[in-house]
Structure 1
Amino acid sequence: MSKENKRTWTKAGLYFSFFLVVISFLFPLLWVLSLSLQTPFEVLQVPPNIIPTSFAIENYRDVLDSAPVLQYLWNSFRIVVSTVVLTLLIAIPAAFALSRYQMKFKNHLLIAILMTQMMSAVVITIPIYRLFASWGLLNQLGLVVIVYVAAVLPFSTWFLKNYIDTIPKDIDEAAIIDGCNKWQMLRRVLLPVSLPGIVSVVIIVAVQSWSQFVIPFILIDDSSLYPVSVGVVNLQSTQTQITTHLLAAGSIMSIIPVVILFVVLQRYIVGALTNGAVKG
């Protein structure tokens, strides 16, 4: 077999592998979308219909009528925005210090930060619940935000630190010569250059916070404070008939904001992965 044929078959194999990966990620989403547009009768059909025949748009109206989904979405929005803002306020200065300052035991500190990310939130949720319950602090969205921040802060700091490392230090020296102090250099020089990395962190933190289920499920028992991840699941327990189609419709409604966020900010993710920063 010639080299040209080998290259052709190699490319074909790679494209086929990419196709399988894309299908494996998209099929569950498309299946949920299909269920959200089916009637209860269609949901129970064997074999199941991949493409709905009725396109029951009224399922979405029924979800809005049977549960305060808009309130759930608003609760999730408040939690996500608060988590993202608080995470950036802590992670950006920490990443700047770890990247630009020489300090004793710096490598050990970075390893310790990374090790904390290996601990699942599920492991600490029960102790946190017992602590908050003893203090009478359950059903507080602010405390849920603090737990979220603690969960995503190690990765966010590590990611931003590595991104700032790619920015040439010549930029720092030029800013200092122009009369900038450390905070002015961070705010006026490094932050604009680091925008793709910061936006990538925003998307990662937002998606993780939006989809978090275990923490709010345990720390919140007031239905008016449920985020959408918990509220939508309760559609299954609040109905007396077959609710698979309604649960699917609620799930689709819950992921629409995340999809919009990703579509709007995806160019920054590409910039973070390909551009690095400023090239000297």
Structure 2
Amino acid sequence: MIEGRANRLGNIATYLVAIPIAGFFLVPIVWLVSLAIRTPQEIFFGASRFIPENPTLANFWQVLTGSGFLTYLGNGLKLSVLGAFGALIVAAPAAYAFSRFSFRGRGAAMMGILAVQMVSGLVILIPLYRYMAWLGLLETHLGVTAIYIAIGIPLTVWLVKNAFDAVPIVLDEAAAIDGYNRFETFWRVTLPLAAPGLASAFILNVIFNWSQFLVPFIMLTDDDQWPISVAIYNYAGSTTATTTHLLAAACLIAVVPAILAFMLLQRLIVSALTAGAVKG
């Protein structure tokens, strides 16, 4: 009974902390929705009319049919998916090695990979720009995708390693008895069983890449190649007080896919983050 009461108190405390935090992040989204469904005349009412009298969805249609907006969405999706897929391809073999092999310095190497994740992109942006210029990859989606892959590898290695740790090693041993070599075991046994973790790592990378701004902003100047994050920034620069509702609609269109993806797939993502935490 005492344990049940302690659990209830713990749940109440969790909600008391979580509700204000959720409100802090939800208020800007709700305000964005309010602006996005207003008519041009109601924009000037500001906070005095939080709920519009004549809500409209015409702003979204005007943005989507505007010059190049669908192209920006397509570019953002293309770069996000290719970057996530490339990071997964590179990280999976490394994660398998960290999960299955015992070697000197394994812990230090894992911490080194995590330390790379902590380095801000601003620190290496100038040398990275010069390096990509030397490779001839400026103004190309290939160059931006390569950077996305490099940025995503550290986190992906950790996530996929957790997924591999959750696969019993006895299955690898059984595959070896059946005559599989190490690569065949990795490809035919471990990868399929760790598919939920791989999918979660892929989804997280897509979400992170979708929100990337600095890299494509520096590497791409041709507006036909911009992803939605850069296009929104430039769109905001040309926005006036009378077109604020269009900017709000454009921002909402840009953020909704990532929010929906996380909400719909949160169980899969959380399972990937906790996979391998308890073994036995």
Q: In structure 2, the residue corresponding to 1:236 is in which secondary structure? A: helix
Structure 2: stretches of 5+ with no match in the other structure: none
Q: 1:191 to 1:136 in 2, by over 3 A?
A: closer
Asked whether the 8 Å contact 1:36–1:248 carries over to 2, the reply is yes
Q: In structure 2, the residue corresponding to 1:45 is in which secondary structure? A: helix
Who is 2:122 aligned against?
A: 122
1:24-67 Cα shifts (integer Å, max 9, x gaps): 23222222122111133433325343322221211112223443
Alignment of 1:53-202 (within 5 A): 53-133=53-133, 136-202=136-202
Distance in 1 (CA, whole Å) between partners of 2:178 and 2:6 is 56
1:116-143 Cα shifts (integer Å, max 9, x gaps): 1110112222222233345553211100
Q: CA deviation at 1:216?
A: 0.5
Who is 2:236 aligned against?
A: 236
Q: For structure 1, which segment, 85-94 or 121-130, has the greater mean C-alpha deviation from structure 2 after superposition? A: 121-130
Q: CA deviation at 1:10?
A: 4.7
1:272 aligns with 2:249: no
Q: CA deviation at 1:249?
A: 0.6
Asked whether the 8 Å contact 2:162–2:274 carries over to 1, the reply is no
Q: Which amino acid aligns with 1:89?
A: I
Q: In structure 1, the residue corresponding to 2:14 is in which secondary structure? A: helix
Distance in 1 (CA, whole Å) between partners of 2:250 and 2:31 is 14
Q: 1:172 to 1:73 in 2, by over 3 A?
A: same
1:211-242 Cα shifts (integer Å, max 9, x gaps): 00011111110000000011122222334553
Who is 2:43 aligned against?
A: 43
Distance in 2 (CA, whole Å) between partners of 1:205 and 1:23 is 26
Alignment of 1:8-47 (within 5 A): 9-47=9-47
Q: Which amino acid aligns with 1:95?
A: A
RMSD (Å), alpha carbons: 2.6
Q: CA deviation at 1:175?
A: 1.5
Distance in 2 (CA, whole Å) between partners of 1:47 and 1:29 is 14
Identical amino acids, percent of aligned pairs = 37
Paired residue total: 279
Distance in 1 (CA, whole Å) between partners of 2:219 and 2:101 is 38
Q: CA deviation at 1:3?
A: 8.6
Who is 1:254 aligned against?
A: 254
Asked whether the 8 Å contact 2:156–2:201 carries over to 1, the reply is yes
Q: Which amino acid aligns with 2:143?
A: L
Q: Which amino acid aligns with 1:17?
A: V
Q: CA deviation at 1:246?
A: 1.2
Asked whether the 8 Å contact 2:212–2:229 carries over to 1, the reply is yes
Asked whether the 8 Å contact 2:33–2:252 carries over to 1, the reply is yes
| TM-score, normalised by the number of residues in structure 1 | 0.88
Q: For structure 1, which segment, 215-224 or 240-249, has the greater mean C-alpha deviation from structure 2 after superposition? A: 240-249
Distance in 2 (CA, whole Å) between partners of 1:279 and 1:102 is 17
Who is 2:218 aligned against?
A: 218
Q: 1:70 to 1:46 in 2, by over 3 A?
A: closer
